[in-house]
Amino acid sequence: MKGNDRKRYRVTPDEAQSLEVLVATMDGGAFSGELLDITIEGAGTRFRRDAGPTLAVGQTAILTFTSVRLREPIKVRAKVRSRVEMGAFRSYRYGFEFDQWDDQERRLSWEIRRLFNQRGDYRAEPNTAEPIAAVLKMARDEQSPQPGGAGGAGGEFEAAGVLKDLSTTGIAIAVDHEAETTLATADLVEVAFQLPNSAANLHLTGWIRHRELDEDRVCYGIEFDLDRSKQFKRQHGAITSYIRRRQLEDPSK
């Protein structure tokens, strides 16, 4: 790992990622530490000296990352690249370098992968001559029986809307404002839509990242969750093809 590369790509997780790390040593010890930063190649952690591991530079450990955005913990084998003694509390700051990171990265959810310094995705807006209808509903694990058909015996709640823009990482959908009454407490949703010149019906699961009132509608910005979206790779290919087409049709954007 080159020092300049690590500096360029280093990111400090915040509460939104809810990302935690557990470091397991080869002798069977396990220590919960503070995650200071993470990169595409490694991570920085900190422990109180009296409550953490004593690892030598070059020693191997297993880092386990957990988050509410992950279906299951992700374990990554790593090597201690640096150790610094910090502050009055004599805490250790470890710099870990991941082994076989390419294989492990594929298992990370979209939420965690976006921690890394990647370029913003191009957002393709539909051609006005080809509006794209979309259906938005709460994900199954967020549905609860409610009077009037918002789940339960009355049927699943669905909101019909139109696609505002689409990227490789997410989608924006505008629906009638009344839908917000039901979706106000929802974080995880399912979206269904069909792209022009495609016979495939796309069904993806994602997290509502922002919602905005637009006259009599609400526009939801949704980030795809590749772990929860079935056959994500196939669906992602259809999305990528559409975005490339729109880039060629409207290069000004």
pLDDT in tens, 37-50: 887 788 999 887 77
Domain residues for 169?
133-249
Residue 122 lies in a domain: no
Buried b (16+ CB within 10 A) or exposed e, 190-213: bbebebeeeeeebebbbbbeeeee
Last residue of a domain, one of 83, 113, 143: 113
Residue 125 lies in a domain: no
pLDDT (tens digit per residue) in 54-98: 899 999 999 998 877 676 788 889 999 998 887 655 678 899 998
- pLDDT at 235 (0 to 100): 93
Residue 128 lies in a domain: no
CATH of the domain at 218: 2.40.10.220
Quickly list DSSP for 63-127: EEEE-TT-SS-EEEEEEEEEEEEETTTTEEEEEEEESSHHHHHTTS-HHHHTTS--PPPP-BPPP
- pLDDT at 72 (0 to 100): 76
- The SS3 of residue 182 is helix
- pLDDT at 7 (0 to 100): 43
Point out the residues of the chain with pLDDT beneath 50.
Answer: 1-8, 117, 119, 145-155
The answer on 108 and 143 residing in a single domain is no
- pLDDT at 252 (0 to 100): 62
Residue 118 lies in a domain: no
Domain tally, the chain: 2
Residue 146 vs residues 6, 137, 152: alpha-carbon distances, Å = 50, 14, 6
Angle at CA 36, nearest 5°, toward 30 and 40?
Answer: 95
